[in-house]
Structure 1
Amino acid sequence: MSRGPLTTTSFAILGLLAVQPWSTYELTRQMDRSLGRLWPRAQSKLYEEPKKLVDHGLAEATTERVGRRPRTVYSITPAGRQALAEWLRSPGAGPVLEFEQLLKISFAEHGTKADALATIAAANEWAKERNEENLATGRAYLEGRGPFQYRAAQNMLAGAFLTEFYRMVAQWAEWAAGQVEQWPDDPAQAVPDQAAFEQIVRRAEW
């Protein structure tokens, strides 16, 4: 019985299976360290998607034993590799931004100045924390000891985007904190920095 149509999440996990076979536990760890940064929705579907791939004939499941405990290992089938190649022929959709802290800043006039500054500081800390792992991964690949070193060329492209993204969030947070610090105690009374506003528009003209 089919578990439903294939989705982007299905192909994200199929892509991992194209790298090597994985148990569900191993897929979970790999999602945390790699695809979870690009496609976090896949994590919530992790236990269902491999079974869906098996139902569609794109993956196969085998049972192994680790000591006394059985585990299911999933691997890609030839049909799965063909389906993955067909999916890659389509350019796909662009990014979708989901940023709760930025949403809160958008309604800052209904809170306090301290609230806004705390939210911006949390965004800055998030970017720095995420970049620590990003930096460690980049250094490992640069030194020839990445976990999938033979895929360094592909991983470099995603790594470059994530590096610039984390850097952008941190730089925005530092700039935004400087702006909010100039606000009056009541954010509803804040007025924009005209020079900064003009610079934003000029940058948007690229």
Structure 2
Amino acid sequence: MSLRHALLGLLSERPASGYDLLKRFETSLANVWPATQSQMYTELSKLAASGLISVSAEGPRGRKEYTLTDEGLAELRSWLTETKPQRNTRSDLLLRVFFLGVLPPERARGYLDELADMSEQEYEDLRRLEQSIDWGDDTLSVHGRIALEYGLRFNAMRREWARWAAGRIHEPGGSGAAADGAGTE
């Protein structure tokens, strides 16, 4: 995904100013694709220059409202149907797990406990976000809730996995939990 396609997707719902897009971005896409205000305004300029969006209204202090063009909608549809999603092959989190054996077992378990706590916090943050949004039946709300549910389930799974993994780390030479083959705690 790119910021380009995120903005095209938001504009597919309705015209919006850069400020409006920033606010909608913060309550929807920022959890899956973070971007700064300057990145968004730079991308809006590029989209307008390439004809994928147009300025449909101008207001005080240079405020511009952008509208998706037919070419922009075609680009968004092409990206959705013809471009394969990139598989995230790098995970700093899991790379560390591979090397936890160089730490004393209590520190390795501590890392996994922190990961479980972080996942719990992210889960709770998403729950609060879910409750703070006035969900509608428009397509962005419907699909936004579907994406939010992915985040909830992912964080719940990662929390459970981290707790399970912490239970697998044992003292060298001890029988420990790793030898028992249990699936979950």
The TM-score range, normalised by the shorter chain, is: 0.7 to 0.9
Which position in structure 1 is the counterpart of 2:27?
33
Q: Which amino acid aligns with 2:59?
A: E
* Correspondent of 1:104 among 96, 99, 106: 96
Across the two proteins, how many residue pairs are aligned to each other? 181
Q: How far 1:175 moved relative to its partner?
A: 1.0
Q: How far 1:98 moved relative to its partner?
A: 4.7
The whole-number CA distance in structure 1 between the counterparts of 2:73 and 2:121 is 35
The whole-number CA distance in structure 2 between the counterparts of 1:120 and 1:171 is 10
The whole-number CA distance in structure 1 between the counterparts of 2:154 and 2:131 is 18
Q: How far 1:80 moved relative to its partner?
A: 1.3
Q: Does 1:59 align with 2:53?
A: yes
Taking structure 1 as reference, are residues 179 and 84 closer, same or farther at Cα in structure 2, changes over 3 Å only? Answer: same
> Is 50-59 or 81-90 further displaced after alignment?
81-90
The whole-number CA distance in structure 2 between the counterparts of 1:64 and 1:38 is 31
The whole-number CA distance in structure 2 between the counterparts of 1:169 and 1:125 is 10
Which position in structure 1 is the counterpart of 2:171?
183
Q: Which amino acid aligns with 1:13?
A: L
Which position in structure 2 is the counterpart of 1:131?
123
Q: How far 1:96 moved relative to its partner?
A: 1.3
Which position in structure 2 is the counterpart of 1:90?
82
Q: How far 1:84 moved relative to its partner?
A: 1.7
The whole-number CA distance in structure 2 between the counterparts of 1:9 and 1:118 is 36
The whole-number CA distance in structure 1 between the counterparts of 2:75 and 2:13 is 15
Q: Which amino acid aligns with 2:138?
A: Y
Q: Is the 8 A contact 1:101 1:119 kept in 2?
A: no
Q: How far 1:191 moved relative to its partner?
A: 8.6
Q: Does 1:157 align with 2:151?
A: no
Query: Does the residue aligned with 2:159 lie in a helix, a strand or coil?
Result: helix
Q: Is the 8 A contact 1:28 1:46 kept in 2?
A: yes
Q: How far 1:130 moved relative to its partner?
A: 1.9
Q: Which amino acid aligns with 1:36?
A: A
Q: Which amino acid aligns with 2:13?
A: V
Q: Does 1:16 align with 2:10?
A: yes
The CA deviation string for residues 78-116 of structure 1, in whole angstroms up to 9 with x for no partner, is: 321222223222262254155433322221133343442
Gaps of 5+ in 2: none
* Correspondent of 2:73 among 74, 78, 81: 81
The whole-number CA distance in structure 2 between the counterparts of 1:161 and 1:97 is 19
* Length-normalised TM-score, structure 2: 0.75
Identity, % of aligned positions = 24
Q: CA RMSD in A?
A: 3.4
Q: Is the 8 A contact 2:52 2:72 kept in 1?
A: yes
Taking structure 1 as reference, are residues 12 and 60 closer, same or farther at Cα in structure 2, changes over 3 Å only? Answer: same
The whole-number CA distance in structure 2 between the counterparts of 1:123 and 1:11 is 31
Query: Does the residue aligned with 1:36 lie in a helix, a strand or coil?
Result: helix
Q: How far 1:194 moved relative to its partner?
A: 4.0
Q: Which amino acid aligns with 1:150?
A: D
Q: How far 1:133 moved relative to its partner?
A: 3.3
Which position in structure 2 is the counterpart of 1:204?
none
Taking structure 1 as reference, are residues 137 and 96 closer, same or farther at Cα in structure 2, changes over 3 Å only? Answer: same
